[in-house]
Amino acid sequence: MAFGQTQPHALITGGAGFIGSHLADRLLVEGYRVTIIDNLSTGRWENIAHHSKNPGVRFAIEDIRNEMIMDRLVSECDVLFHLAAAVGVKLIVERPIDTIETNIRGTEVVLKAAGRYRKPVLLASTSEVYGKSNKVPFREDDDGVYGATTKSRWSYAVSKALDEFLALAYYESQKLPVTIFRLFNTVGPRQVGHYGMVVPRFVKAALANEPIEVYDDGKQSRCFANVYDIVDALVKLSQCGNSYGEVFNIGSTEEVTIMELAQRVQSATHSTSEIVLVPYEKAYKKGYEDMRRRVPDTSKIERLIQWKATTALDQTIQQMIEYYRNLEKTK
């Protein structure tokens, strides 16, 4: 399969990332040609190296803020998945300037190019845009409730909300075919814990029989969706044609406390690790804020494409255990 043929051509920004690389895998199976652009700041070449000799895949190791490169790549694609962003709580807290500039400026460049060539865009947003809202489950038209600007924790949430405003403005003013999807916690093979992602952090600690660190009191809860389920939703959403100008939650509705998650990982790995509580101030910095619950209402996407997350959390944990065990074997 070469780049002169008639198969549909997808461009994935952030395509070397955890979710982006799985999306590339799925699109190739679906018969797409794929172009990946990633500056490898948080993405990893290892995630996409298995496609290095595939004639149906092109790679651009470049920043999406490079307008000349993005203009060319967007002009050549049929659909654009914009996943490139600063990710991970630890990264957001430690590098707020990068977070804001990458998210806002990057999305501005992507949408400007898409508008120039009228290419369909699926733009990744996040459950963070709901902020500190206590109205659970979160529905797409709920209000966002943010903390003070003196707390860098909220820079990511606000920057992604601005991305959404900009994308919807392009839809309203130029009728650009834009679909926004808000991802809730997504986990699976290839995810790393470098930037605060909790499941890989727990799995790696458990496999090494090291302390499993649970922040705060462990009673905060999340819903963890399997990356294969998420990618299935993204592909179906891109193909339905009735999603333009809309926002969709995508995630699991299986809620679990972080303490229970640690216990499940401990049990699944047969680990001797101790579960220890760590104050937020020690994990991040003084004044860090978090939300207690984060649960999506997914009825909107269920109605549109008949999609629902179906992989149980325990099955996802097993997948990640096998992934990290295999990684150790190849070292």
Of 32, 146, 156, 284, which is the active-site residue? 156
Any catalytic annotation for residue 146?
no
Closest CA to 184 of 257, 125, 96, 244: 125
- Rounded Cα–Cα distance for residues 236 and 170 (Å): 23
Question: Strand, helix or coil at 173?
Answer: helix
**Cα atoms in the 13 Å half-sphere on the side-chain side of 49:** 7
- Rounded Cα–Cα distance for residues 102 and 81 (Å): 16
- Rounded Cα–Cα distance for residues 19 and 228 (Å): 9
- Residues with Cβ within 8 Å of 72's Cβ and at least 6 positions away in sequence, in order, are none
Q: Which DSSP letter does residue 6 get?
A: S
What is the number of other CB atoms lying within 10 angstroms of the CB of residue 52?
A: 9
Only one residue has tokens 């978090």, namely 290
Instruction: Give the angle 212-218-224 at the CA atoms, nearest 5°.
Output: 85
User: Looking at the DSSP assignment, which residues form a beta bridge with residue 250?
Assistant: 183
Question: Strand, helix or coil at 16?
Answer: coil
Closest CA to 245 of 141, 144, 170: 170
Single-letter residue type at 141: D
14 neighbors 85 (Cβ within 8 angstroms): yes
Q: Given the DSSP bridges, would you call strands 212-215 and 186-187 parallel, antiparallel or unpaired?
A: unpaired
Q: Which DSSP letter does residue 40 get?
A: S
- Rounded Cα–Cα distance for residues 120 and 244 (Å): 9
Residues labelled as active-site residues: 156
